[in-house]
């Protein structure tokens, strides 16, 4: 984990290559509890089962949930999400139709009003970014795995 906070905008770069994993097309935030449960089960099957691995898996679920809920609330539809394996991390990537709006962490906002998810993800992730692909905005983060 970098321990670095998100700046006023996330860096623009494509994610690293990844394989295997899970994919979802999402239409509404009401789908997220079911998808989180699927993701949690899938990660547990891939995990070493140690307390550290369980904590890392929960960080992946949290990052996925924050990114997916942002896309569903603010991304203009067409939300697609994936969690895939890289050699030593999980790639969490969420795409939406708001290609003209890069992810921007809330700056100067009262924490009680929300908007801190991107900061949290940046602090947990080994790397993060966004780019445009196939006419969509793709927001991604790499989270460590065991």
pLDDT digits (tens, 9 = 90+) for 101-131: 888 777 666 665 566 788 889 889 999 999 9
Contact 61, 39 (CB under 8 A): yes
Q: How many CB atoms lie within 10 A of CB 72?
A: 21
**Residue closest to 39 by CA, chosen among 76, 95, 86, 85:** 85
Each residue of 78-108: pLDDT tens digit? 999 999 999 999 999 999 999 998 887 776 6
Taking the C-alpha atoms of residue 20 and residue 16, their distance in angstroms, rounded to an integer, is 13
The H-or-E segment that residue 25 falls in is strand 19-26
What pLDDT, on the 0 to 100 scale, is given for residue 9? Answer: 66
pTM of the full structure? 0.89
Q: What whole-number percentage of the chain has pLDDT above 70?
A: 87
**Of 4 and 35, more confident:** 35
Q: What is the pLDDT of residue 2?
A: 42
């Amino acid at each position: 984990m970098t321990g670095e906070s998100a700046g006023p905008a996330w860096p623009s770069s494509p994610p690293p290559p990844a394989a295997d994993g899970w994919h979802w097309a999402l239409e509404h935030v009401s789908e997220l509890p079911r998808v989180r449960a699927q993701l949690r089960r899938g990660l547990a099957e891939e995990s070493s089962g140690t307390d550290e691995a369980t904590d890392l898996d929960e960080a992946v679920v949290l990052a996925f949930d924050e990114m997916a809920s942002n896309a569903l609330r603010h991304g203009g539809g067409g939300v697609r999400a994936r969690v895939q394996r890289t050699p030593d991390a999980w790639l969490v990537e969420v795409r939406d139709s708001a290609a003209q709006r890069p992810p921007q962490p809330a700056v100067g906002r009262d924490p009680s009003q929300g908007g801190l998810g991107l900061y949290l993800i940046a602090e947990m992730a080994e790397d993060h970014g966004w780019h445009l692909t196939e006419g969509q905005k793709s927001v991604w983060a790499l989270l460590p795995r065991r």
